[in-house]
């Protein structure tokens, strides 16, 4: 095999995405929670196994977006019956290339956590940008929060 062909194969292999790996969680005999990439000892009968993808992080994002995301993380709260307002809010964030976490308020525990955090009844969609909050979808208000946090404007 020629060195050029070998180099090409090595580069292609390196470019392939890493396969999912297993992560295990269990409680040991002393009541301590254990985490490992190896299966638990055989005497442990109850454990969780999760497939974990490697964290690609925000390395592909523009610098301004990465910087804004570090300082002012974005969270979107949605609900089952939200429909178009939640879809429009999600679309706005995606259009601007804003990385965000989404929490769906589906259970009584989800609603209670929302009430505890915001001191109000849930209203979806709700957007948080750092410590700022906007309840309900209004493109101009959401864009204002994102602009103030330093997220690039993207296409509007």
For 77-106, what is each residue's pLDDT tens digit? 999 899 999 999 999 999 999 999 999 999
Domain count, the chain: 2
Tokens of 93: 């964030």
Is 93 or 10 the better-scoring residue by pLDDT?
93
Co-location of 27 and 79 in the same domain: no
Please, which residues have CB within 8 angstroms of residue 115's CB and are 6 or more apart in sequence?
Answer: 121, 122
- pTM beyond 0.75: the answer is no
User: Which residue, 55, 78, 102, sits at the end of a domain?
Assistant: 55
Which residue, 65, 86, 68, 87, is CA-closest to 77? 86
84 and 123: one domain? yes
User: The domain containing residue 105 runs over which residues?
Assistant: 63-149
Residues 106 and 100: their CA atoms lie apart, in Å, by 19
Give yes or no for residue 125 having a pLDDT over 80: yes
26 and 48: one domain? yes
Is there a single domain that holds both residue 30 and residue 73? Answer: no
């Amino acid at each position: 095999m020629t060195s050029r062909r070998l180099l090409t194969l090595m580069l292609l292999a390196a470019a392939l995405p890493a396969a999912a790996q297993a992560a295990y969680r269990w409680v040991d005999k002393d009541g301590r929670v254990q985490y490992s990439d190896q299966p638990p000892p055989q005497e442990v009968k109850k454990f969780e196994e999760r497939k974990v993808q490697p964290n690609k992080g925000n390395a592909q994002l523009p610098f301004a977006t990465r910087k804004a995301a570090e300082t002012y993380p974005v969270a979107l709260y949605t609900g089952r019956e939200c429909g178009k307002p939640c879809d429009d809010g999600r679309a706005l964030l995606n259009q601007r290339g804003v990385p965000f976490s989404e929490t769906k308020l589906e259970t009584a525990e989800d609603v209670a956590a929302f009430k505890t955090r915001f001191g109000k009844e849930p209203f979806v969609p709700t957007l948080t940008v750092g410590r700022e909050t906007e309840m309900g979808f209004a493109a101009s208000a959401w864009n204002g929060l994102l602009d103030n946090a330093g997220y690039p404007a993207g296409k509007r």
